[in-house]
């Protein structure tokens, strides 16, 4: 039984600056400057550019300015900063979710499920492995946008306590977003943080947010709805473990795993 203390999570919901990482960093600086006393800051998918299918036009590297900015802001806030970027890795492009720690160290998860409907699979290389990070005794799973639609990949194998989903999820499928983030929390008996964007992109997509922090029952602890804001809430390990002990659905789960190709 974990003796992890509470952690405080902040989810940032706002518009994006299309293919303009410097403007994006300025935008998020304003949010982070106003933030105090959090352990984890969650930014959306491709937060420095918006979600686009011409990665050769505007991309990041692991030693580039936006990753350095994440490390600096993590150190300044004394908190982990996470969100995904368009990342060039040798001769490939990845949709990479960075996990930047206050001590300057980093990990990452490369988006597994590329959005075929939008052509992402033509321009990006998908990852193979899940990413589960540790923070203050908490095990936190990282997922990116379209991953949300694949419950087997997102399945809690008794290896995480909270799951993060960062996204550029448009209005046209808002009901799916609202439904699926709750389903992932309920079926996996885990906290879920869903971070989506606002505004519009040049491709005609509009975004209404719906960023949330959900408890293990799928109930909203915070719901940003369609407002630009930073929402913060504390997560409780004792409450999570008490519920899992009281309602031990994981003990009746089917014993299988699916290995990625």
pLDDT at 104 (0 to 100): 98
Report residue 260's pLDDT band, with 50, 70 and 90 as the boundaries.
low
Tokens of 255: 């014993």
The sign of the dihedral angle between the CA atoms of 178, 127, 14, 8 is positive
Q: Which of 228, 198, 194 is nearest to 211 (CA)?
A: 194
Q: Write down the pLDDT at residue 261.
A: 66
Kindly list the catalytic residues.
45, 111, 145
Residue 207: name the closest of 197, 217, 216 by CA: 197
Q: Is the dihedral of CA 49, 53, 54, 59 positive or negative?
A: positive
pLDDT level of residue 155 (50, 70, 90 thresholds): very high
Condensed to tens digits (0 to 9), the pLDDT of residues 166-219 reads: 999 999 999 999 999 999 999 999 999 999 999 999 999 999 999 999 999 999
Q: Quick check: 223 pLDDT over 80? A: yes
At 231 the three-state DSSP class reads: strand
At 255, the pLDDT band (50, 70, 90 cuts) reads confident
Angstrom distances, CA of residue 57 to CA of 20, 83, 98, 254 = 11, 20, 20, 45
Residue 33 has a CB neighbour count (10 Å cut-off) of 11
Domains of the chain with CATH codes: 7-248 (3.60.110.10)
Question: Can you give the pLDDT at residue 185?
Answer: 99
- What's the pLDDT tens digit per position in 59-95? 999 999 999 999 999 999 999 999 999 999 999 999 9
């Amino acid at each position: 039984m974990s003796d992890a203390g509470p952690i405080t999570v902040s989810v940032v919901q706002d518009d994006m600056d299309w293919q303009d990482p410097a403007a994006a960093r300025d935008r998020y600086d304003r949010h982070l400057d106003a933030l105090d006393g959090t352990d984890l800051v969650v930014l959306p998918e491709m937060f420095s550019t918006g979600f686009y299918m011409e990665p050769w036009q505007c991309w990041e590297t692991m030693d580039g300015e936006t990753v350095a900015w994440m490390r600096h802001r993590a150190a300044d806030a004394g908190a982990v900063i996470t969100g995904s970027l368009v990342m060039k890795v040798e001769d490939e492009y990845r949709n990479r979710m960075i996990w930047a720690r206050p001590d300057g160290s980093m990990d990452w998860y490369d988006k597994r499920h590329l959005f075929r409907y939008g052509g992402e699979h033509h321009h990006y290389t998908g990852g193979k492995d899940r990413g589960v990070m540790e923070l203050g005794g908490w095990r936190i799973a990282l997922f990116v946008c379209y991953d949300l639609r694949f419950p087997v990949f997102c399945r809690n194998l008794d290896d995480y306590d909270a799951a993060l989903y960062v996204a550029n999820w448009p209005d046209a499928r808002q009901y799916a977003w609202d439904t699926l983030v709750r389903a992932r929390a309920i079926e996996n008996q885990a906290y879920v943080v869903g971070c989506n964007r606002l505004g519009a992109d040049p491709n005609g997509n509009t975004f209404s947010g719906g960023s949330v922090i959900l408890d293990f029952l799928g109930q909203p602890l915070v719901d940003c709805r369609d407002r630009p804001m930073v929402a913060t809430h504390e997560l409780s390990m004792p409450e999570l473990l008490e519920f899992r002990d009281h309602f031990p659905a994981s003990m009746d789960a089917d014993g299988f795993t699916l290995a990625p190709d």
